[in-house]
Amino acid sequence: MLVSIPAAFCPILLMMKSLTPNPAVHTVLCGWNSQTTRLLDNLLAVPPKTQSGIVLVNQLDKAGIGALSDRFAGRDLATVTGDFTDEDVLRAAGIGTAALAIIVPDYSMTIGSDSRGPDERTILAALAIKSISPNIPVSALVKNGENAIHLRHARVNTVILQGEFSELALSRTGLAPLLPDVLRTMLGPSGPAVLRQEPIPAQFSGTTFQELSRFFEMRNAGIVVGVVSKDRERGLAVLLDDTDSETDNFIKRKFQEAELELNGGDSQKATIRLNPGADFPIGPHDTAFVIG
């Protein structure tokens, strides 16, 4: 059952509902728009292995919450009504013990009640989340591609530009008309051809892509199609010092106000190599993309 909880009372009511038997495993979803219902369908169809609930944080009216309650009756879902850029509201949603935070462009507010645009609110939410829980993985959907760099500077782990994948798929349909169907299958909730990211067993560090692929195939664990390698980048302080952007200067001030270490967490740049070749060497921190 979906429960709507005013932010001020959320900690008590969440505990009473027992939304998260293990509190450090729920997902917090900030924002609401016309596509969020579909996102929820996918999240609930493929819950992370350790996830036991989703907490929505938005400002939907009673009618919107009622429609959600009808659609997701019986599901492990709760809503917190409030501004997700406010740290107190985020704490009420349990962000400090959440396993994942997702931020989407928000249109749940009353028109004219907030002069800030969706991307600006997304950036502010990311900063608030990281100030409370610096190590939580954060994924964000952004409307304007120019704001993606600001979200990365705010330590958002995954940034997706709204609409980019639909445009890419459409642009390739001339050469591969069934590509959208293939992508739906690979990104679907379940099935024999779902694309997933898997850790590589430690004993394969220093071996080759061919040996790793053979290991997965012999165990019917899927087909390895690529490897993700991570290299250390410059620290966030250096990146922010290199820009005169008003937004980046604001991000830097927010980190300093929250007493978060700008130099303490040099970021990891991910390099994706699809079909890298039989002799490609596997590194100690690599992960694999696997189909099946």
Mean pLDDT of 228-253: 56
Residue range 246-263: average pLDDT?
Answer: 52
pLDDT at 17 over 80: no
pLDDT digits (tens, 9 = 90+) for 157-216: 999 999 888 888 889 899 999 988 988 888 877 667 889 899 999 999 999 999 999 999
Average pLDDT over residues 126-138: 93
At position 181, the amino acid (one-letter code) is: D
Single-letter amino acid, residue 178: L
Q: Residue 246 — pLDDT band, cuts 50, 70, 90?
A: low
Question: What integer pLDDT is reported at residue 239 of this predicted model?
Answer: 43
Q: Nearest-CA neighbor of 267 among 154, 101, 159, 160?
A: 154
52 compared with 261, residue with greater pLDDT: 52
| pTM score of the predicted model | 0.77
257 — pLDDT class (breaks 50, 70, 90): low
Q: What's the confidence (pLDDT) of residue 53?
A: 87
CATH architecture assigned to 194-292: 2-Layer Sandwich (3.30)
**What does the pLDDT read at residue 137?**
94
What does 134-200 look like in DSSP terms, one character per residue?
Answer: TTS-EEEEESSGGGHHHHHHTT-SEEEETTHHHHHHHHHTTT-TTHHHHHHHHTSSSSTT-EEEEEP
Q: Higher-confidence residue: 116 or 291? A: 291
- Is a pLDDT exceeding 60 seen at residue 49? no
**Amino acid, single-letter form, for residue 19:** L
Q: Which fold has domain 3-162?
A: Rossmann fold (3.40.50)
Give the chain's largest Cα–Cα span. Answer: 59
Could you tell me which of 120, 132, 122 has the C-alpha nearest to residue 30?
122
Q: According to the model, what pLDDT value does residue 243 have?
A: 55
Domain regions of the chain by residue span:
3-162, 194-292
